[in-house]
Amino acid sequence: MSGAKTKLLAVDLDGTLVDSAPDIAHCLGVALEAVGFDTPGEARTRIWIGDGLETLIARALAAADERRSGTPSPPSERATGERQAEALAAFLACYRHNLFRRSRLYPGAEVTLDALLARGVRLCCITNKRIAFSESLLEQAGVRDRFELVLGGDSLAEKKPSPLPLVTAAEALGVEPASATLVGDSHQDLRSARAAGFGFVLAAYGYGKVDAAELGSSPRIERLAQLETLID
């Protein structure tokens, strides 16, 4: 942490606030089946989450191609052509009805958010998930009202790891970046926070992998409730 009092806490969504992998994996399976592949399963899906939906599907298709061919190969042109579009359409049709059916808030989420709000910490949600899905997911999870602002991966011209979403949130809410912190589970979150001048807390229980050397002195939490003692 920077040592400055945290006035604004930006919270990542997938893998930080909500364990959304079960629903994402279900719909990714539907998407791959729509273009003639087997479902990849939840364990593999968790590894691919974090860079937005198009990248998730591209990774899944590339892996499916590799498994089918039996040899490592880069993503084929088909993975970014008609097949990509068909898989994306199938995912979207599924996911809009499966945002919070299998997914759950991480333990202690509501209590932790409420405790921080009671101490005067302002909250926003910054995610690479599409804004329409993000808003609906937060509503269905029962926590949308805790956040003054929600920015999705398609809300602005750039998404994390760009600093733009964090800088935009800080400006919109009238908070200096030095008084703001992002909690997230991926290197995209870390790099976005560093570039924006935010503090950073790693949600180590999430989907992403952050190298210890890159994390440096930034703190890590093994459960969301630990935020209460980290955020001053």
Active site residue ranges: 12
β-sheet with 149-151: strand ranges across: 149-151, 122-126, 8-11, 180-184, 199-203, 220-221
Show the tokens assigned to 162. 């760009």
Instruction: Collect all residues with Cβ–Cβ distance below 8 Å to 223 and sequence separation of at least 6.
Output: 106, 107, 108, 205
Q: Helices 21-34 and 53-69 meet at what angle, rounded to 10?
A: 60
**How many other C-beta atoms can be found within 10 angstroms of the C-beta atom of residue 97?**
9
